[in-house]
């Protein structure tokens, strides 16, 4: 991941009269402040902070996953190739969180994480990006950066929707710390 300030010199869209691009548009741009060799597929160009918050970056995320086809079971520690928009990165399935009913999408075995999933199963799982951070959003916030395919050995084995990112984990930790009352002698403390 590369974070730097750039100057947009030229913007070419499919419509010559356009002077503005929207999220998800494919563009040709000429930029000052970066060389072509520094760019990689999957990089996301964002406006300045004055235009609103930049694209979210994350190292870990929770996703609703539908296993389409895989020759064996999938469990924590499994590695695959994530395809999210133009981005292609290796990810590790850290752990399975919940099983979901195939027809209703509701949680099965409440409070108990599955040990494995297989073809045809639906689940919620946590993934970690092996190479660092990627630009990704919750599917409900921005669908184009919130849906992905998981591939292995040239085959699509699963499709998924991102439910939570690092930003959501930080919010949850902050809320848990605030609810904890902060600092008195609690059970098990010395």
Let me know whether 156 and 100 are in one domain: yes
Let me know whether 66 and 125 are in one domain: yes
Domain assignment of residue 46, yes or no: no
Mean pLDDT within 174-187? 54
Q: Which residues pair with 140 in a beta bridge?
A: none
Let me know whether 62 and 122 are in one domain: yes
Let me know whether 86 and 142 are in one domain: yes
CB 122 within 8 A of CB 105: yes
**Residue 172 — very low, low, confident or very high, per pLDDT cuts 50/70/90?**
confident
Let me know whether 33 and 69 are in one domain: no
Domain assignment of residue 183, yes or no: no
Mean pLDDT (the chain) is: 83
CB 148 within 8 A of CB 162: yes
* Domain harbouring 126, CATH code: 2.40.30.10
2-22: pLDDT as tens digits: 677 788 888 777 777 667 777
Q: Which residues pair with 129 in a beta bridge?
A: 91
**Residue 188 — very low, low, confident or very high, per pLDDT cuts 50/70/90?**
very low
Domain assignment of residue 66, yes or no: yes
**Does residue 85 surpass a pLDDT of 50?**
yes
Let me know whether 99 and 70 are in one domain: yes
Let me know whether 165 and 79 are in one domain: yes
Domain assignment of residue 177, yes or no: no
Mean pLDDT within 10-36? 77
Q: What's the pLDDT score for residue 190?
A: 37
**Does residue 69 surpass a pLDDT of 90?**
no
Q: What's the pLDDT score for residue 102?
A: 85
Mean pLDDT within 67-94? 92
Domain assignment of residue 188, yes or no: no
Domain assignment of residue 47, yes or no: no
Mean pLDDT within 157-162? 96
Let me know whether 20 and 71 are in one domain: no
Let me know whether 79 and 131 are in one domain: yes
Q: What percent of the chain clears pLDDT 70, i.e. is strictly above it?
A: 85
Mean pLDDT within 40-65? 81
CB 159 within 8 A of CB 66: yes
Let me know whether 20 and 96 are in one domain: no
Identify the domain containing residue 69 by its residue range. Answer: 57-169
The residues, any chain, with a CB within 8 Å of residue 37's CB and separated by 6 or more, are none
| HEC string for 15-83 | CCCCCCCCCCCCCEEEEECCCHHHCCCCCCCCCCHHHCCCCCEECEEEEEEEECCCCCCECCCCEEEEE
Dihedral class, residue 59 (left if φ above 0, else alpha if ψ from -120 to 50, else beta): alpha
Let me know whether 104 and 22 are in one domain: no
**Residue 127 — very low, low, confident or very high, per pLDDT cuts 50/70/90?**
very high
The domain total for the chain is: 2
């Amino acid at each position: 991941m590369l974070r730097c300030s750039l100057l947009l010199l030229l913007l070419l869209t499919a419509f010559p009269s356009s002077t503005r691009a929207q999220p998800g548009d494919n563009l040709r741009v000429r930029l000052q402040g970066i060389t072509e060799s520094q760019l990689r597929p999957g990089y996301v160009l964002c406006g300045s902070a004055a235009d609103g918050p930049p694209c979210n970056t994350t190292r870990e995320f929770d996703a609703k996953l539908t296993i389409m086809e895989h020759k064996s079971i999938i469990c924590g520690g499994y590695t695959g190739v994530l395809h999210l928009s133009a981005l292609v990165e290796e990810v590790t399935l850290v752990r399975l969180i919940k099983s979901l009913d195939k027809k209703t999408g509701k949680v099965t075995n409440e409070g108990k994480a599955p040990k494995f999933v297989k073809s045809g199963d639906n689940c919620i799982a946590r993934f970690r990006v092996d190479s660092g951070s990627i630009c990704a959003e919750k599917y409900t916030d921005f669908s184009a950066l919130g849906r992905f395919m998981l591939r292995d050995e040239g085959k699509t084995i699963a499709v998924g929707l991102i439910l939570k990112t690092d930003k959501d984990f930080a919010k949850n930790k902050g809320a848990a710390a605030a609810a904890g009352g902060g600092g008195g002698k609690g059970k098990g403390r010395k």
